[in-house]
Homo-oligomer: A and B are copies of this chain.
Amino acid sequence: MSHPVTELDRVVIRFAGDSGDGMQLTGDRFTQEAAVFGNDLSTLPNFPAEIRAPQGTIPGVSSFQLHFASYDILTPGDRPDVLVAMNPAALKANTGDLPKGATVIVDTHDFTARNLTKVGYAANPLEDETLADFAVHAVDLTGMTVEAVKEFGLSRKDAARSKNMFALGLVSWLYGRDVAGTETYLAHKFATKPTIRDANVAALRAGWNFGETTETFAVSYVVKPAPAAPGRYRNITGNTALSYGLVAAGRLSGLPVLMGAYPITPASDILHELSKHKRFGVTTFQAEDEIAAIGAAVGASFAGTLGVTATSGPGVALKSEAMGLAVMTELPLVVVDVQRGGPSTGLPTKTEQSDLLQAMYGRNGEAPMPVIAPQSPGDCFAAAVEAARIAITYRTPVMLLSDGYLANGSEPWAIPSVADLPAIEPGFATAPNHSTTNAKGEPVEEFWPYLRDEETLARPWAIPGTAGLEHRIGGLEKGEGHGNISYDPANHDRMVRIRAEKVQRIADSLPPLEVDDPSGQADVLVIGWGSTYGPIGAACRRVRAAGHPIAQVHLRHVNPLPNDLGAILRRYDRVVCPEMNLGQLSRLLRAEYLVDVRPITTVRGLPFGAEALAHDLLTHVTRTAEALA
């Protein structure tokens, strides 16, 4: 290599183009290259709600951001160091996020007067002062791509389609990344279309060579591998990890899995993924609506299968009544909510954490449901297994709260060894559990479907096909123990409290919380749940790097809250809770512990930026210090 090479410890790169430009694929492939190289990484895809938004418009821009580093990182990064913009719209939509000095690689091909006007550029930004703060590389990526693939005889339009691979090749060169994996990938993907395959590979190589042979880029960079424990890794998105977690839960419990679902963004991929795993005893049922989907899952659970349903906020709203039935019948059920921007249809492709209170309270009557949340894309696996453990052990519907960021974002995942995963015991009832005498005074053995395990308060799960345990359940109030309909006031009061207590008892099965407070000196505790783990962690690092101690604790279990949480919260002078909603966990904590939890909220459809969050946290830290001084 004739170019000088500069070492960096982290890079944030954003690929942006029209929805049809293949930016998600470009990002995915570059992510894969970085992953295989050994960087730690985190990604943030961002696409419009339209299938194909109008070409060349700002709403039509699709982007993919990747943060990769030589140390462990927690977020996809706030501001791109490098922007690859495939057209004027992509440039316009993204320059606002760039820090001074960022590198901008622009495909000049579409910078016609008409296209510029369409997005509101009065003049060509490549020719005026618009991009003065950035290092701009304006190159005709499209033109060069067409040139590179001309031997394959494609139409100009089809030829130009490979420009994303040209861009990928160029960026791969820039960071010294091997494109062999992508070549294999292309060979596989276009196995049946050899011309397309060859054109893409040619474009990819041409991009790489363009970097290598021209003087466009003065330096290239290297970002060394990040520290990592030994083991096998793969890059994984939250939706895939969650699906694998459900498949694993079936295996670990020995139960078949029946997933009822109705497609909805951003949860549909869970249905798509699970539909591939019939060999694991997983059946998927695409229902006519969300209610039928959960209905089938409840039916399947009654029949001795692990019933699962996955949806997003509007679908959860529709499932509310049926979740109540699962609460009353005390059947295992996993309800996955991949949260998106609300209310109503809201912002379907954006992320948000605003279904927490719906998950807690969105049912008629006192209908408690455990609520658990994964903290990163890879963690969706473990969270799904945990949801199934609780559902099966305690005979209860469980709400698993993922979100759009986790669903589509990815990170390297240390692949667990299946042998190390703990079994889940369905413990089906097989025999009568209650002795009584019949009218003639003879002893009789009966089955009482609401006679509970003393420790967990779980009721027995007797599945059809088990002789002698025939019984009827339903949504009317049950008599304690025998489970027949009961209108007795005292019984109802007792049953309402027992159902609440059962969910509360789950807390006894949880490990102690881990508070991250490296200095042990913090006065301020930051608490979060779900996908804010990364940004909060990154922000805390910044605060600490600026010389201020700060503690972090993160909740996987939001209901029941861990037994040790109250004591932890009271240990700090100030508790701060960042959330992608208007302060929903804050409300729960304030009500539960009477601690003045202070919300930091963002409802932008995007994860917290670490920098901005660090700034807010710092304010809390200094205010607290002032108050204590």
A interface, CB within 8 angstroms of B? 48-49, 59, 312-314, 316-318, 320-321, 324-325, 327-329, 339, 341-348, 350, 352, 354-355, 357-358, 360-367, 474-477, 487, 489-490, 492-493, 496-497, 499-500, 581-582, 586-588, 590-592, 594-596, 602-606
Looking at the assembled complex, report how far the CB atom of A612 sits from the nearest CB atom of chain B, in whole angstroms: 12
A345: which of B317, B474, B605 is its contact (CB, 8 Å)?
B474
Given contacts A317-B362, A317-B364, A350-B492, 18 further A-B contacts (CB under 8 A): A59-B487, A312-B364, A314-B321, A314-B364, A316-B364, A317-B320, A320-B320, A343-B366, A344-B475, A347-B492, A348-B476, A354-B365, A354-B366, A355-B364, A355-B365, A366-B582, A487-B605, A496-B603
Looking at the assembled complex, report how far the CB atom of A402 sits from the nearest CB atom of chain B, in whole angstroms: 14
Q: In the complex, are the beta carbons of B325 and A344 less than 8 A apart?
A: yes
Give the distance in Å from the alpha carbon of A185 to the alpha carbon of B327 in the complex: 46
Give the distance in Å from the alpha carbon of A365 to the alpha carbon of B317 in the complex: 10
Q: Which 7 A-B pairs have the closest CB atoms?
A: A342-B365, A313-B364, A343-B365, A344-B475, A345-B475, A343-B367, A489-B604
Looking at the assembled complex, report how far the CB atom of A403 sits from the nearest CB atom of chain B, in whole angstroms: 12
Q: In the complex, are the beta carbons of A346 and B590 less than 8 A apart?
A: no
Q: Which residues of B contact A355 (CB under 8 A)?
A: 364-365
Give the distance in Å from the alpha carbon of A317 to the alpha carbon of B365 in the complex: 10
Q: In the complex, are the beta carbons of B357 and A492 less than 8 A apart?
A: no
Give the distance in Å from the alpha carbon of A191 to the alpha carbon of B561 in the complex: 64
Give the distance in Å from the alpha carbon of A366 to the alpha carbon of B582 in the complex: 7
Q: In the complex, are the beta carbons of B342 and A366 less than 8 A apart?
A: yes
Given contact pairs A342-B324, A347-B476, A582-B500, A493 touches B318 in the complex (Cβ within 8 A): no
Q: Which residues of B contact A361 (CB under 8 A)?
A: 357-358, 360-362
Given contact pairs A343-B324, A477-B341, A500-B582, A492 touches B366 in the complex (Cβ within 8 A): no
Give the distance in Å from the alpha carbon of A352 to the alpha carbon of B362 in the complex: 16
A selection of 30 A-B contacts at a CB cut-off of 8 Å is A313-B365, A318-B318, A318-B320, A320-B320, A320-B358, A324-B342, A325-B345, A327-B343, A328-B346, A342-B365, A345-B474, A345-B476, A346-B364, A347-B487, A352-B365, A354-B364, A354-B366, A355-B365, A357-B357, A357-B360, A357-B361, A358-B361, A358-B363, A361-B361, A366-B581, A366-B603, A492-B605, A493-B602, A587-B591, A590-B592
Give the distance in Å from the alpha carbon of A71 to the alpha carbon of B490 in the complex: 32
